[in-house]
């Protein structure tokens, strides 16, 4: 109900526009994802329209997979349907190189681009020029119920392993009929279940491709990760887990139905908010689990930023950058803090936020979030020829990752075994990479 009221308030602000007539105003169409931070932003846009009565906002808010499909189709065809797009660290380097995005060179002198966390700024730039501004950024972490751990006599390690997670899931599941031992992404999609599985496979030392672009779904790391993933989901996860993505698992955790949840660090502000979470006073935070020794140093988690960009097809670039500057500024963080409290500001984008004593005092997850982001190194190297951790930053990955994600979801649903899913994934990947010319 709270988010619904925020959306209604956002809609009201669109028509107000501080007296500007429909003929005089520039209308921006903004495509965004239905995550909590974006919904909150829509509820606060009266602040923007009061400052800029000559700019009106129209929102197109979509589920993650649908958003990706819509904006990809629009930008690849030059459709011009949107003036501001919510995209991520996967799209930016590819689309900027194709000249599908406009450089963000009009954010204003007080925007303070240098304050953006270096890893995030670099991921959204090409040749030193910013092509998307981060609204929030994330890595991955473990969220868990401290009360259930205490009842079970368990203590979360400083660096949890997947074997420990499996043991804890079993122990808590057997002791609590109404609580699932673990909740993980099962919804198919290159940015849904494959984001999680890509990170889990890396925790076992595996990549999507080796140095010669050969797919690695038949490797020991992927085999171990997927088998354990399916076992965890089947034995200790919620029913219908193959339909659950970030938002579905967030809802389950906030209702007290999940003992553990490995997902994006951005979830921490929602599960710790007593207005949204029934278990806010009993949430602990730990690193993403390891599969092999010292896996945090191998970049086993992930790096992502939901960001705002201007497609080259937009005819309203100046107004679009004005909005992006507002939405990703230090001032916007202050606005959220004033209205919602410091713990609810969009995380992971600005160095100054993690130097703010008020934020650190109200956000017990802040240090863990920053450390996870700083430990995530998406660069290419000897072990992998591509940029990315939970994804491979090549155009073909979007279709390939979605196809493989469907096979993994089928394994979770029991329609095929983990081995069959991996075999199908390897065959699909080899065929697509051969067709694209990466391998002969």
Do residues 282 and 355 lie in contact, with contact meaning Cβ atoms separated by under 8 Å? no
Q: Is 368 inside any structural domain?
A: no
Q: State the pLDDT at residue 300.
A: 75
Domain C-terminal end among 330, 362, 394: 362
Q: Which residues of the chain have pLDDT under 70?
A: 1-23, 296-299
Q: Is 377 inside any structural domain?
A: no
Residue pLDDT, tens place only, 305-318: 999 999 999 999 99
Q: Is 376 inside any structural domain?
A: no
Q: Are residues 26 and 170 part of one domain?
A: no
Residues 6+ apart with CB under 8 A from 397: 90, 190, 208, 388, 391
Q: Are residues 399 and 276 part of one domain?
A: yes
Q: State the pLDDT at residue 236.
A: 98
Q: Are residues 194 and 52 part of one domain?
A: no
Q: Are residues 238 and 126 part of one domain?
A: no
> Three-state SS string across the chain, please?
CHHHHHHHHHHHHHHHHHHCCCCCCEEEEEEEECCHHHHHHHHCCHHHHHHCCCEEEEEEEECHHHHHHHHHHHHHHCCCCCCEEEECCCHHHHHHHCCCECCCCCCCCCCCHHHECHHHHHHCEECCEECCEEEEEECEEEEEEHHHHHHCCCCCCCCCEHHHHHHHHHHHHHHCCCCECCECCCCCCCCCHHHHHHHHHHHCCCCCECCCCCECCCCHHHHHHHHHHHHHHHHHCCCCHHHCCHHHHHHHHHCCCECEEEEEHHHHHHHCCCCCCCCHHHEEEEECCECCCCHHHHCCCCCEEEEEECECCCCCHHHHHHHHHHHCCHHHHHHHHHHHCHHHCCCCCEHHHHHCHHHHHHCCCHHHHHHHHHHCCCCCCCCCCCCCCCCCCCCCHHHHHHHHHHHHHHHHHCCCCHHHHHHHHHHHHHHHHHHCCCCC
Q: Is 406 inside any structural domain?
A: yes
Q: State the pLDDT at residue 5.
A: 42
Q: Are residues 290 and 172 part of one domain?
A: yes
Q: Is 423 inside any structural domain?
A: yes
Q: Are residues 387 and 280 part of one domain?
A: yes
Q: State the pLDDT at residue 75.
A: 95
Short-list 344, 343, 378, 351, CA closest to 123: 378
Domain C-terminal end among 362, 391, 406: 362
Q: Are residues 421 and 289 part of one domain?
A: yes
CATH number of the CATH domain containing 422: 3.40.190.10
Structure tokens at 99: 């000249």
Q: Is 7 inside any structural domain?
A: yes
Structure tokens at 307: 């960001």
Q: State the pLDDT at residue 440.
A: 87
Hey, CA dihedral for 366, 367, 370, 375, is it positive or negative? Answer: negative
Order of all β-strands in the sheet with 260-264: 260-264, 140-145, 283-287
Q: Are residues 128 and 34 part of one domain?
A: yes
| Boundaries of domain holding 267 | 140-301+382-435
Q: State the pLDDT at residue 312.
A: 97
Q: Is 375 inside any structural domain?
A: no
Q: State the pLDDT at residue 299.
A: 57
Pairing mode, if any, of strands 129-130 and 55-62?
Answer: unpaired
Q: Are residues 192 and 65 part of one domain?
A: no
Q: Is 267 inside any structural domain?
A: yes
Cβ atoms within 10 Å, residue 197: 22
Q: Give Rg (Cα) of the chain.
A: 21
What is the total count of domains within the chain?
2
Q: Are residues 274 and 207 part of one domain?
A: yes
Q: Are residues 341 and 236 part of one domain?
A: no
Do residues 308 and 96 lie in contact, with contact meaning Cβ atoms separated by under 8 Å? no
Do residues 86 and 135 lie in contact, with contact meaning Cβ atoms separated by under 8 Å? yes
Q: Are residues 193 and 61 part of one domain?
A: no
Cβ atoms within 10 Å, residue 38: 22
């Amino acid at each position: 109900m709270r988010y619904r009221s925020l959306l209604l308030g956002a809609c009201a602000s669109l028509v107000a526009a501080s007296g500007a007539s429909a003929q005089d105003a520039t209308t921006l169409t903004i495509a965004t994802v239905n995550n909590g931070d974006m919904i909150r932003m829509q509820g606060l846009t009266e602040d923007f329209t009061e400052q800029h009565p000559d700019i009106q906002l129209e929102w197109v808010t979509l589920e993650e997979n649908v958003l990706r499909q819509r904006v990809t189709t629009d930008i690849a065809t030059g459709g011009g349907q949107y003036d501001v797009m919510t995209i991520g660290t996967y799209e930016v380097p590819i689309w900027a190189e194709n000249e599908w995005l406009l450089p963000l060179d009009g954010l204003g002198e007080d925007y303070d681009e240098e304050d953006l966390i270096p890893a995030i700024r670099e991921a959204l730039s090409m040749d030193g020029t910013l092509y998307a501004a981060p609204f929030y950024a994330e890595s991955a972490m473990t969220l868990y119920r401290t009360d259930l751990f205490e009842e079970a006599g368990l203590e979360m390690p400083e660096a949890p392993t997947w074997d420990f997670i499996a043991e804890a899931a079993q122990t808590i599941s057997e002791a609590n009929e109404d609580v699932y031992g673990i909740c993980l992404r099962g919804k198919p999609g290159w940015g849904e279940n494959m984001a999680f599985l890509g990170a889990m496979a890396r925790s076992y030392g595996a990549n999507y491709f080796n140095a010669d672009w050969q797919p690695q779904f038949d490797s020991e790391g992927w085999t171990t990760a997927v088998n354990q993933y399916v076992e965890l989901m089947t034995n200790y996860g919620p029913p219908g887990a193959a339909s659950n993505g970030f938002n579905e698992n967030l809802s389950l955790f906030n209702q007290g139905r999940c003992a553990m949840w490995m997902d994006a660090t951005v979830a921490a502000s929602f599960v710790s908010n007593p207005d949204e979470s029934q278990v806010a006073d009993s949430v602990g935070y730990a690193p993403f689990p390891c599969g092999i020794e010292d896996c945090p140093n191998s970049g086993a988690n992930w790096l992502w930023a939901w960001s705002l960009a201007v497609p080259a097809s937009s005819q309203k670039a100046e107004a679009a950058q004005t909005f992006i500057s507002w939405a990703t500024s230090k001032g916007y963080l202050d606005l959220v803090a004033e209205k919602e409290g410091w713990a609810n500001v969009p995380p992971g984008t600005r160095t100054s936020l993690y130097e703010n004593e008020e934020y650190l005092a109200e956000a017990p997850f802040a240090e863990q979030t920053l450390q996870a982001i700083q430990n995530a190194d998406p660069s290419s190297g000897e072990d992998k020829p591509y940029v990315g951790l939970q994804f491979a930053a090549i155009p073909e990955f979007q279709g390939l990752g979605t196809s493989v994600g469907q096979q993994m979801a089928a394994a979770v649903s029991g329609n095929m075994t983990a081995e069959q899913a991996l075999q199908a994934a390897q065959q699909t990947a080899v065929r697509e990479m051969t067709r694209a010319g990466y391998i002969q």
